A and B are shown apart, each in its own frame.
Chain A
């Protein structure tokens, strides 16, 4: 299936890596949008149909937690599943996100296997293209 996925991260290389890993995880047919902070992501979402949001925590202007809170308070966006990706694996940080209603949390560094398992859990088995690439030097786009 094809999804419209928004990646929110202030690091351009990290946005590329997330996109590359999602494709390697079996979601090659999806369309990817990018924003460098929560504020720009909200603006983009007003004009684009988004099925899934992937957001970093540590960003300038509006951090990931503030962005998720804003999404969950908006009647148009509150049902869109959100995955938080962060370097911080502290349990209380993860709880802050889950309390805000995120569907999943990924800690950096991550592999296509971790992404695939979480996406199947959130979007369902039928969402998976079945074209999974093992992590390692082989996967590329």
Chain B
């Protein structure tokens, strides 16, 4: 199931990033954050979203701050030249919400999944042993992990 969900998450990231942010992305590798090169892009922002259904777990999304600010400007339009922190964090949580909902809809299940509200987390609490899917945009990278309960 992890393999299916991982493929669904990658496909969803492609669709969400291209449709809502006009950002082409490509898959780089699956690795722990320390080996991904993403720490060189710090500071970043992270959030988590729990889901329950035929199987349960949560997704964690990490995006470097500079990329997230560019995504917010693209998402909101030119009216957001210097987006405030709550707008930037709102873009982060909405991005994870779209990726998670889109990914789970690609997975065959008898019952619909229930998604919790996404929650911003302290980036320093990100697992150093968890494997993340690393994706690259033209200017930066981002990472997402899937944890099954």
Contact = CB atoms under 8 A, between A and B. Distances in A.
User: Chain A interface residue count: which class?
Assistant: 20 to 34
Given A58-B97, A109-B102, A13 B117 contact: no
Contacts of A86: 101
Interface in B104-124: 104-105, 109, 111-113, 115, 117
A99 B111 CA distance: 17
A58 B97 CA distance: 9
A89 interface: yes
Interface string B16-28: 1001101000000
A88 interface: yes
B30 to A, nearest CB: 24
Interface string B76-120: 111100000011001101100110111011000101110101000
A87 B97 contact: yes
A136 interface: yes
Nearest to A21: B20
A137 B74 CA distance: 8
Interface of B: 15-16, 19-20, 22, 72, 74-79, 86-87, 90-91, 93-94, 97-98, 100-102, 104-105, 109, 111-113, 115, 117
Interface of A: 10-14, 16-17, 20, 58, 60, 86-90, 92-93, 107-111, 135-137, 140-141
Q: Which 7 A-B pairs have the closest CB atoms?
A: A87-B101, A89-B105, A109-B19, A90-B112, A13-B90, A93-B112, A109-B20
